[in-house]
Amino acid sequence: MLPERTDVLVVGAGPTGLAVAVTLAGHGVTTTVVDRLAAPPVTSRAAVVHAGTLEVLDRIGVADPLAARGLRSARFSVRDRDRLLLTVRFDRLPSRYPYALLISQAETEAVLADRLTALGGRVLRSYELTGLDLDGYGATARFADGGAVRARWVVGADGMHSRVRELAGIGFGGPADPGESFLLADVRVDSALPRDQVSLFLSRGGPLVWAPLPDGTVRLVATVDAAPREPRAHHFQALLDERGPVRRPDRVTEVVWASRFRIHHRIASRYRSGPVLLAGDAAHVHSPAGGQGMNLGLRDAVALGEALAAGPEALDRYAADRRPRAEEVLGFAAGLTRLAAAPPALRPLRDLLLRTASALPPARRRLAVRLAGFEPAPLPPDLPPEPPQRGGRSGSSVRR
Ligand SMILES: Cc1cc2nc3c(=O)[nH]c(=O)nc-3n(C[C@H](O)[C@H](O)[C@H](O)COP(=O)(O)OP(=O)(O)OC[C@H]3O[C@@H](n4cnc5c(N)ncnc54)[C@H](O)[C@@H]3O)c2cc1C
């Protein structure tokens, strides 16, 4: 049952909301986590947790149990059909976690939920936030079942279509393009590609990510011009034929799970509006190329949990520090897409640049650190003042 009051109300129990809640529970802050879903989703979504994220998750006791359940990938390679253009080595990273951990998002969420339970917390399910009244002392959150909770702080960890963001009047801008269209599947495949690394194929049609998963399946993610409503084996076979290896071509033997989705590149205009704070997909969305989306959200989450535990000044720092991180990651993901789609005349130059980078240890190291999600230290505390607070709104319809 919903409590009447709480210090922090976390809306959304995806990876971001769970990680905020675990961080707060570790600091003894009274927290209520709600999610509109009756049970956690079991669908396959993000598949990699990077070293920089594991270092951050180690602060909340989650990295080791996660590492025990995933597949450790020491390398990331960039290919153009049979040609290996670049290899990035994670095993040289100065980290306790010198690898990219391949693990399904459902498992990552399960590990976070177990940690929350161990710290005495839990997710209150089937509660959909529909209204938010903001005032100088906090917020009153209203739910579809007629319930209400009074909270000092509200965390919007409610994903790309965030109701919290909308109700707080925070913009979610981006180019007015139709977004990028993706096909995604977990497949069984006969393949000669190495199973200890993620391969990114650069192709004129767009990037194709080939990532081995702990259960022996392979995650394929590719941008496409028009995604079929019900993607099937022959669609993924066609993608591999068009973009994958030629000498020893891959053969799809089974599609375990498949989906299509469209992503716009967007960042929230601000991460804080009075008592409302955003994190994860509620604050930023971008292409999954490079596997950065959930990772950025998890790092937001721990930073926000620690800031909420530290007090209001730290919250302004959170808001000022995290948005530029999202800008960087969005730029990086867009760059990977541009590299893949380079016009034929520029491809020899692109390939030469990648091969040169591959031969230069400092360039390779920089790329490894970037992909692994290591972030520079947070900004110092001399911050611009927070923009004036806007009034909240109530309602029940979702905009998108
Ligand atoms: C098909 C697909 C494939 C993806 N592939 C990748 C990938 O390969 N790599 C990668 O890094 N990322 C990938 N992503 C993105 C990744 O899944 C997200 O970055 C990640 O889930 C964000 O976590 P989050 O907790 O911020 O938001 P979400 O996981 O979206 O969680 C938000 C939660 O809020 C709840 N909620 C929403 N509205 C309300 C409300 N009004 N009241 C109460 N609860 C609410 C939802 O039920 C949900 O549980 C993929 C996403 C999809 C859909």
- pLDDT score of 386: 40
Distance 105 CA to ligand 1 centre (A): 9
Beta-ladder partners of 201: 79, 208
Pocket test for ligand 1, best of 45, 172, 200 (most atoms within 8 A of CB): 45
- pLDDT score of 384: 44
Query: How many of the other CB atoms lie within 10 Å of CB of 87?
Result: 16
Contact between residue 364 and residue 283 where contact means Cβ atoms under 8 Å apart = no
Q: What are 334-388's pLDDT values in tens digits? A: 887 777 767 778 888 888 888 888 888 888 888 899 899 998 765 444 444 444 3
- pLDDT score of 8: 98
Distance 280 CA to ligand 1 centre (A): 8
- HSE at residue 266, side-chain half, CA atoms within 13 A, is 25
Distance 357 CA to ligand 1 centre (A): 34
Distance 14 CA to ligand 1 centre (A): 6
pLDDT band at 175 (very low <50, low <70, confident <90, very high): low
Q: What are 243-299's pLDDT values in tens digits? A: 999 999 999 999 999 999 888 889 999 999 999 999 999 999 988 777 889 999 999
pLDDT band at 178 (very low <50, low <70, confident <90, very high): low
Q: Nearest Cα to 182, choosing from 132, 139, 239, 141? A: 239
The amino acid at residue 344 is: P
Query: How many of the other CB atoms lie within 10 Å of CB of 349?
Result: 10
- pLDDT score of 321: 95
Q: What are 134-168's pLDDT values in tens digits? A: 998 999 999 999 999 999 999 999 999 999 999 99
Distance 297 CA to ligand 1 centre (A): 10
Nearest 5°: phi and psi at 331?
A: -65, -40
Helix (H, G, I), strand (E, B) or coil at 50: coil
- pLDDT score of 337: 73
Q: What are 299-346's pLDDT values in tens digits? A: 999 999 999 999 999 999 999 999 999 999 988 888 877 777 677 788
Q: What does pTM read for this prediction?
A: 0.91
Pocket test for ligand 1, best of 158, 208, 224, 276 (most atoms within 8 A of CB): 158
Name all residues whose Cβ lies below 6 A of ligand 1.
Answer: 11-17, 34-37, 45-47, 105, 128-129, 157-159, 163, 184, 221, 259, 261, 280-281, 288, 291-294, 297
Distance 286 CA to ligand 1 centre (A): 12
Q: What are 190-236's pLDDT values in tens digits? A: 999 999 999 999 888 888 999 999 999 999 999 898 889 999 999 99
Q: What are 61-106's pLDDT values in tens digits? A: 999 999 999 999 999 999 999 999 999 999 999 999 999 999 999 9
Which residue CA neighbors atom 7 of ligand 1 most closely?
46
Which residue CA neighbors atom 20 of ligand 1 most closely?
294
